[in-house]
Amino acid sequence: MARNRVIYQSEALYVSEDLSSTASGKHTQLERVQSANYNFSISRQDINQYGQLARIDSLVLEPPTVALDFTYYLTDGFNERALGFYVKTGAAQSEGNFASGHMIASSGRNFYISTVSEGNDATGINGGGVNSVIGIGNAYLSDYTLDLAVGSLPTVSVTMEGANINSDTTISNAAGSISGIASPAINPQDGSILNTLSNVVLKPANSGASNISALRPGDVTVDITNFDGTGLADLAGSEDGIHIQSASLSLPLSRSPLQRLGTKFPYARSVDFPVSATLSVNAIVNEIAATNLANILNDQSEKDIILTLKGPDGSSNKMVYTLKGCKLDSESFSSSIGSNKTVDLTFSTQIGGPNDGLHGVLVSGANNTTIFA
């Protein structure tokens, strides 16, 4: 019987530890996923000649563009750790730059989207087998964005750039695992398929790895009080200063494909440096601070901003983002009849090297479960 449609119930998103991963322990199912979109495009050059109206050929001169973007509700750092971000999980663990794992050429990984039979849950493959698996190979992070807003659950958006995409329908489902999947990974030197990775095994999660369903906006605090006096708005505190309505942390990692003669695909996708992380804050204005733009221009100091997300109990921290070495880039006020006066603030910091403890984005989380066996 033909399938009528595919809905979110029947799909699951997985990520591998690295490009060569095949065992089930080297893959994990991402949790709290809200959307997943993927596509590819091929750029061709038409070959025409005098004496013939239509093209005689259409050649591929540039590597195809494969893209994957997905969103999920932020929990306690499980997804971030699975995606290769550095998240401090204990007091004994040293500090590290959040995106350090994505700065190197070997940071690529594979993603898989499984689809089970209609009417069944993909989590745990409850009640039905797997119909198909779509794989995206050699995927590299190009953007990580955290959105916090009143009335909305904290949400993360991730964008990946890949080199290959494939689909499998001849797969097997036994002992709670999905096997017989062909890896989408390719050899970046010549674009050839890695035939040695022909039996990838995925193990669906029976439930979420985190012990919380989602974080609430009422348990989010954005501490920008270090910048009080460096702008026109009073940032001293939520009672007497501005009342933050939303905040968005963006960490873009644009990449340049490095090519050479004799290869069909880029032999590397290197990050374009320097990398700047940006925090945009929107707030309702209450008080105005006494300051002067001329003095702001003379202030060369760099300050820290802390984003804290607590759990449902309101006491324990689940995720803490620290932007070190920030500066205020812009401040924009808006006022009109019938609405509250608001201010938009933009802060930025550059990502430093592994030994730079004064710049970058540092993240700690409550999740300490084993991601990959």
Distance of CA 79 to the CA centre of its chain: 9
Band of residue 238 on the pLDDT scale cut at 50, 70, 90: very low
**Predicted pLDDT of residue 134:** 94
131-160 tens-digit pLDDT? 889 999 999 999 999 999 999 999 999 999
294-310 tens-digit pLDDT? 556 666 778 899 999 99
Domains, the chain: 217-365 (2.30.110)
191-204 tens-digit pLDDT? 778 766 678 889 88
Q: Is the pTM value of this prediction over 0.85?
A: yes
Q: Is the predicted pLDDT of residue 372 greater than 60, yes or no? A: yes
Q: What is the mean pLDDT of the chain?
A: 86
325-368 tens-digit pLDDT? 999 899 898 999 999 988 899 999 999 877 777 899 999 999 98
Q: Is the predicted pLDDT of residue 20 greater than 70, yes or no? A: yes
Report residue 347: phi and psi, to 5°: -120, 155
**Predicted pLDDT of residue 118:** 86
d(CA 235, CA 346): 13
**Predicted pLDDT of residue 160:** 95
| Alpha-carbon separation of residue 75 from 17, 89, 109 (angstroms) | 20, 14, 22
Q: Which two tokens stand for residue 260?
A: 């050479």
As a whole number, mean pLDDT of residues 36-48 equals: 93
Is the Cα dihedral 80, 83, 89, 92 positive or negative? negative
Q: Which residue has the tokens 């973007």?
A: 69
84-123 tens-digit pLDDT? 999 998 776 777 889 988 887 776 899 999 998 888 888 8
